[in-house]
Amino acid sequence: MSVKWGLIGASTIARQFMIDAIRAQPDGEIAAVMSSSAERATAYARENGIPAAVSNLDALLGSDIDAVYISTTNELHFEQALAAAKAGKHVLCEKPLALTSDDARKMVASAKEAGIVLGTNHHLRNAGAHRAMRDAVAAGRIGNPIAARVFHSVYLPENLQGWRIARPEAGGGVVLDITVHDADTLRFVLGDDPVEVSAFTQSAGMAGSGLEDGAMCVWRFKSGLIAQSHEGFTTRFADTGFEVHGSQGSLIARNVMTQQPAGSVLLRTASGEERLSFDRENLYARSVRGFHAAVRGEGQPSATGEDGIWSLAAAEAALQSAASGKTVKIDPKLGSMN
């Protein structure tokens, strides 16, 4: 049985990665695309070989589809996911799930009520590099994890210099864009949850309208581990990286905070240095593969709705910290949902 997808949003991410990722599945098919503009929907459908183009959510949800992929601007995810769940469609939603963790919790609750699968498209969990690091940490290869550092400050490509740097009401800003990924990847690699954050943000010349285009966060995790993360849109010449330092060793990964199955992971211990090998599967194809399995009742999406609540609660706390100058507790309030 194939999974028939409806795309909600004529977006760049769908065009660059997700359409191919769905079509890479033996059981994946894209049936329709929805844009708020009929003209854009038609052009997008034509350019991407999608059979149907619609400009209204009810028309999409009333059509013969099993699942939706939501990649509109961030303020639209919430209502679109609720409507899709109500219509009995499975939902793979882009991060951040919503503009507030309160809304994200409502999305997860409505998916549960409707009995549909809700996944968050945190692609980095699907990277071989991050899975190799998670396995090494879990196997005790660095001993007791003590500290982590994430370097994820990039240069926002010109074609994406739109709502992210100009529209607070659409959920712009680097924290909702990149810090959510870093919080999720830290949770995934460490197998631990953040409990508080202290953050500084800046506007270094790209973002306007009061939005931040750079952030540095310091996180404390349940285990006592401390982590730092740097997110940015304006550092044209910076590398990305991810490090975890433990009592018996360090994991040093370079060029791994990316959309490509790229980069390297070095394990350094008293016995010397070892380059970890890992698979180079396309991150987005793996995300869709896991989602399809979840739709068949086999396991969970690689990042669940609860993971999406966590990353948003963490980003929200970082924004509150930057605004208040205080350390802020992170509470995804998952207990209140059961």
Q: Which residues bind ligand NDP (CB under 6 A)?
A: 9-13, 35-37, 40, 71-74, 94-95, 121, 123, 160, 162-163, 177, 259
Min dist. Cβ of residue 33 to ligand NDP (A): 8
Query: Smallest distance, Å, CB 329 to ligand NDP?
Result: 25
- Kindly tell me which of 8 and 136 has the beta carbon lying closer to ligand NDP: 8
For ligand NDP, which is the closer residue by CB, 213 or 267? 213
Q: How far is the CB of 219 from ligand NDP (least distance, A)?
A: 21
User: What is the crossing angle of helices 180-190 and 128-138, to 10°?
Assistant: 40
Asked if residue 196 lies in contact with residue 329, where contact means CB atoms within 8 angstroms, the answer is: yes
Query: Which is nearer to ligand NDP, 110 or 302 (by Cβ)?
Result: 302
DSSP letters spanning 124-140? GGG-HHHHHHHHHHHTT
Taking each helix axis from N to C terminus, what angle separates 305-324 and 101-114, rounded to the nearest 10 degrees?
170
Contact, 231 vs 182, CB < 8 A? yes
Total Cβ atoms within 10 A of residue 1: 7
Q: How far is the CB of 41 from ligand NDP (least distance, A)?
A: 7
- Judge whether 131 and 189 are in contact, CB under 8 Å: no
Distance in angstroms (rounded) separating the CA atoms of residues 114 and 62: 16
Beta strands in the chain (DSSP E): 3-8, 28-34, 52-54, 67-70, 90-93, 118-120, 145-153, 194-202, 214-221, 226-232, 241-246, 249-254, 264-269, 272-275, 328-329
**Torsions phi, psi of 318, nearest 5?**
-65, -45
Contact in structure between 155 and 236 (CB atoms under 8 Å): yes
Least Å from the CB of residue 90 to ligand NDP: 17
Of 179 and 203, nearer to ligand NDP (C-beta) is 179
In terms of CB distance, is 60 or 244 closer to ligand NDP?
A: 60
Residue 74 vs 201, nearer CB to ligand NDP? 74
Residue closer to ligand NDP (CB basis): 143 or 162: 162
Rounded least distance, CB 55 to ligand NDP, Å:
8
- Count of H-run helices and E-run strands, the chain: 12, 15
CB of 120 to ligand NDP, least distance (A): 9
The residue count of the chain comes to 338
